[in-house]
C-alpha cells in the first residue's frame, strides 16, 4: 500500500524519494550518516512512516528489520519504546512548553550527576554537536586559552570544522577525507590541534602548544579501547598545562555501562558530553562537569529557547530509569557480541577477509582485500532482499530477540556464501549489483 506522501507526488517507490529530496533539500537531508549513498545508492528505502521495536516500515509499507544503526545509535531501547513514550506523551498532554521551566530538567541533571561522582553541575541542549560546542565555550572561559586539541568527531560547528581550513585532510583520520571547511571563518585557521588516538608520541603537539591550548576534547573510546595509561597520560598533561579535559561521549555513553564509558577507565575528565542514546531518539544532549569549570558558563552567553522544551528531559529521565532498572548495558553488550559473531563466523566459513572493530554495542566491520565497497554494497543489497537494513556498522539495542539475531546470522552467512560462490566461479561480485556502489569521502557523500 502506497503511503499518501508518495501518492500525492506520483512517486511509486520509497527509494525514489531520495532523488526528489535532493531537489528541495541541499544534499538530500540533515545527517550525512543517513544518506542513501552510504548504504545502497538507488535501492535504499531512505524514508519511513512507522518504526517500532527493531522494525521500520518504508513508504511502500514494506517492513524491515533494522540492523543498520538503530536511529544512528540513538534508540538503544528500540523504536517507539512504550514505557518511554508513555512518559513523553503524558508530558506533551500536560504542555511541552510554557513560560516557566520544566522540573524534569532538574531530574535529569540529578540523574547524570549521581552517575558521575566527579560532576556536580549540568547544562542541556538538543544535539551532540551543540553540546560539544557548549562544553568548548565553557572550557575556554575556564582556562582563559582559546586553542582546542581534538581527537575524534565532535559535530559540525565552526570551532571543529576550522581544523580543515587550509588542508582538507586534517580531519581525515578523525572524521572523513576531503571535508571542505567552506563557510567557516578563515581566521579560525590554526585554532585547533588534532591528535591521533592512542598515539602517545602524538601528544607532543599539546605540550608544544601549552601556552595556546586551553581545551582538550576527545572521544575516550569508540572504535578501539585506550591503551593502558593513555587516558591517564592525557589527564596529567591537562593538569600540567592548565587545560580543561572534555570527554565527548555522545556516542560511547550508555553502551557498555550505565553512564559514560570513561567510568570504566578510572580516569575522570573535567567535563563530559552526552547525546545520542540519552533520550532514546528524543532530542536531548547534555554537558556535565566539575563545579569549578561548569560555573564559568555564567561568564558567557549560552542560551536557547528550545533547550528548555520538556520532551527531551522527560525522555532522558524515563530512558535512564529504564536503563538502570533493566541493566540495559548487559543486553546491549550481549546483542552486540552476537552481531559481531555473525560477521566473524560468516567470514571464517567462507574464507573472506574482514576486520571487526568497535565496542560490542557499536560494532563495525570492513571487508578487506581491496573489495570493500563492492562487497559492502552487495551485502546491503542482498540483505535488503531479505528485508534486513544493514550497513558496515550495527549499533545494538536491547530489543533484539534471540530469534532475530539467529536470523541475522543465517542471512549474513548466506550473503557471504553468495560472494564466495561468485568469486569461486571466476565472476565479479560487481556484476551482480543493481545500482551504484556505496560511496565514501565527503565530496561524494555530500553532493
Ligand atoms: C562523538 C560524537 N560527538 C558529537 C557528535 C555530533 O552529534 P549530533 O549528530 O547529535 O550533533 C557525534 C555524532 O555522531 C559523535 O559521535
Nearest alpha-carbon partner for 53 in 83, 98, 15, 16: 83
Q: pLDDT confidence of 328, banded at 50, 70, 90?
A: very high
HSE (side-chain half, CA atoms, 13 Å) at 215: 30
**pLDDT surpasses 70 at 443:** no
72 CA closest ligand 1 atom index: 14
Q: Where are the alpha helices (DSSP H) in 386-441?
A: 402-424
pLDDT of residue 375: 97
Q: Which phi and psi angles does 438 have, rounded to 5°?
A: -60, 150
State the distance from the centre of ligand 1 to the C-alpha of 314, rounded, in angstroms. 21
pLDDT at 246: 98
Q: Measuring CA to CA, how many Å separate 281 from each of 75, 79, 241, 337, 338?
A: 5, 8, 38, 23, 23
Residues of the chain with pLDDT > 90: what percent? 94
pLDDT of residue 442: 65
Checking if the pLDDT of 175 tops 90, the result is no
CB 169 within 8 A of CB 178: yes
Identify which of 126, 155, 285 to mutate to test ligand 1's pocket (most ligand atoms within 8 A of the CB).
Answer: 155
pLDDT at 447: 64
- 283-325 tens-digit pLDDT: 999 999 999 999 999 999 999 999 999 999 999 999 999 999 9
Can you name the residues that pair with 149 across neighbouring β-strands?
A: 193, 216
Tell me if 285 sits within 8 A of 253, measured CB to CB: no
- The ligand 1 atom at the shortest distance from the C-alpha of residue 132 is 4
pLDDT at 111 over 70: yes
The stretch 362-387 carries a mean pLDDT of 94
All structural domains of the chain, each given as residue ranges with its CATH number in brackets, are: 4-80+328-446 (3.90.1150.10), 98-308 (3.40.640.10)
| Contact residues for 8 (Cβ-Cβ < 8 A; gap 6+) | none
Q: Which own/partner contact pairs does 401-404 have at CB distance under 8 Å and 24+ positions apart?
A: 404/54, 404/65
pLDDT value for 7:
92
Q: How far lies 41's CA from each of 17, 34, 73, 368, in Å?
A: 12, 12, 21, 21
pLDDT at 198 over 80: yes
Ligand 1 centre to CA of 298 (Å) is 25
Residues 158, 224: contact at Cβ < 8 Å?
A: no
| Percent of the chain predicted with pLDDT > 70 | 98
Q: At what angle do helices 310-326 and 82-93 cross, to 10 degrees?
A: 150
pLDDT at 2: 77
The answer to whether residues 40 and 33 touch, using CB atoms and an 8 Å cutoff, is: no
Statement: residue 37 has pLDDT above 90 = yes
> For the residues 180-208, what does the mean pLDDT come to?
97
Which pLDDT score is estimated for 97?
A: 98
Lowest-confidence range among 26-30, 358-362, 439-443? 439-443
Nearby residues of 303 by Cβ (< 8 Å), 6 or more positions away = none
pLDDT band at 190 (very low <50, low <70, confident <90, very high): very high
Nearest atom, ligand 1, residue 273 CA: 3
- N-to-C CA span, the chain: 31
User: Does residue 200 register a pLDDT over 80?
Assistant: yes
Phi, psi of 433 (to 5 degrees): -100, 130
pLDDT one-digit tens code per residue, 62-78: 999 999 989 999 999 99
Q: Residue 128 C-alpha to ligand 1 middle, in angstroms? A: 5
pLDDT, mean over the chain:
96
- According to DSSP, the residues that pair with 67 across neighbouring strands are 390
Average pLDDT over residues 133-155: 98
| Cα(120) to centroid(ligand 1), Å | 23
Of ligand 1's listed atoms, the one at least distance from the Cα of 222 is 1
Ligand 1 midpoint to CA 131 (Å): 9
Q: How far apart are CA 54 and CA 43, in angstroms?
A: 20
**DSSP state at residue 264:** G
> With 90 as the cut, is the pLDDT of residue 95 above it?
yes
Question: How many angstroms is it from 416 CA to the middle of ligand 1?
Answer: 32
Kindly report, residue by residue over 380-414, the tens digit of the pLDDT: 999 999 999 999 999 999 999 999 999 999 999 99
Amino acid at each position: 500500500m502506497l503511503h499518501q506522501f508518495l501518492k500525492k507526488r506520483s512517486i511509486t517507490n520509497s527509494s525514489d524519494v531520495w532523488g526528489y529530496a535532493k531537489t528541495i533539500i541541499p544534499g538530500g537531508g540533515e545527517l550525512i550518516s543517513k544518506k542513501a549513498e552510504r548504504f545502497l545508492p538507488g535501492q535504499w528505502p531512505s524514508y519511513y512512516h512507522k518504526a517500532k521495536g527493531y522494525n521500520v516500515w518504508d513508504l511502500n509499507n514494506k517492513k524491515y528489520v533494522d540492523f543498520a544503526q538503530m536511529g544512528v545509535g540513538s534508540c538503544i531501547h528500540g523504536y517507539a519504546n512504550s514505557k518511554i513514550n508513555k512518559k513523553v506523551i503524558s508530558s506533551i498532554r500536560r504542555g511541552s512548553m510554557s513560560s516557566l521551566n520544566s522540573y524534569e530538567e532538574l531530574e535529569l541533571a540529578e540523574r547524570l550527576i549521581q552517575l558521575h561522582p566527579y560532576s556536580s553541575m549540568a547544562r542541556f541542549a538538543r544535539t551532540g554537536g551543540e553540546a560539544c560546542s557548549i562544553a568548548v565555550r565553557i572550557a575556554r572561559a575556564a582556562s582563559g586559552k582559546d586553542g582546542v586539541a581534538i581527537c575524534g568527531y565532535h559535530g559540525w560547528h565552526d570551532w571543529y570544522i576550522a581544523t580543515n581550513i587550509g588542508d582538507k585532510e586534517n580531519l581525515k583520520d578523525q572524521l572523513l577525507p576531503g571535508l571542505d571547511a567552506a563557510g567557516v571563518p578563515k581566521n579560525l585557521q590554526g585554532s585547533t590541534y588534532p591528535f591521533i588516538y592512542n598515539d602517545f608520541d602524538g601528544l607532543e603537539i599539546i605540550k608544544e602548544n601549552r601556552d595556546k591550548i586551553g581545551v582538550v576534547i576527545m572521544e575516550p573510546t569508540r572504535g578501539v579501547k585506550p591503551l593502558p595509561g593513555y587516558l591517564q597520560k592525557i589527564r596529567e598533561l591537562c593538569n600540567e598545562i592548565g587545560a580543561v579535559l572534555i570527554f565527548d561521549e555522545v556516542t560511547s555513553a550508555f553502551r557498555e555501562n550505565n553512564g559514560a564509558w570513561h567510568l570504566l577507565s578510572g580516569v575522570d575528565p573535567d567535563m563530559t558530553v552526552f547525546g545520542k542514546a540519552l533520550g532514546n531518539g528524543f532530542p536531548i544532549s547534555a554537558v556535565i562537569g566539575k563545579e569549578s569549570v561548569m560555573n564559568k558558563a555564567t561568564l558567557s552567553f549560552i542560551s536557547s529557547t528550545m533547550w528548555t522544551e520538556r520532551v527531551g528531559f522527560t525522555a532522558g529521565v524515563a530512558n535512564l530509569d529504564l536503563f538502570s532498572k533493566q541493566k540495559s548495558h548487559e543486553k546491549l553488550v550481549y546483542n552486540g557480541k552476537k552481531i559481531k559473531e555473525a560477521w566473524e563466523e560468516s567470514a571464517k566459513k567462507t574464507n573472506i577477509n574482514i576486520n571487526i572493530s568497535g565496542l560490542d554495542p557499536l560494532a563495525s566491520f570492513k571487508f578487506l582485500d581491496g573489495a570493500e565497497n563492492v562487497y559492502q554494497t552487495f551485502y546491503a543489497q542482498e540483505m535488503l532482499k531479505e528485508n534486513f537494513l544493514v550497513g558496515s556498522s550495527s549499533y545494538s539495542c536491547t530489543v533484539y530477540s534471540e530469534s532475530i539475531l539467529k536470523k541475522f546470522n543465517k542471512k549474513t552467512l548466506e550473503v557471504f556464501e553468495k560472494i564466495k560462490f561468485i568469486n569461486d566461479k571466476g565472476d565479479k561480485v560487481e556484476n551482480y549489483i543493481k545500482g551504484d556502489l556505496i560511496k565514501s569521502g565527503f565530496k561524494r557523500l555530500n553532493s
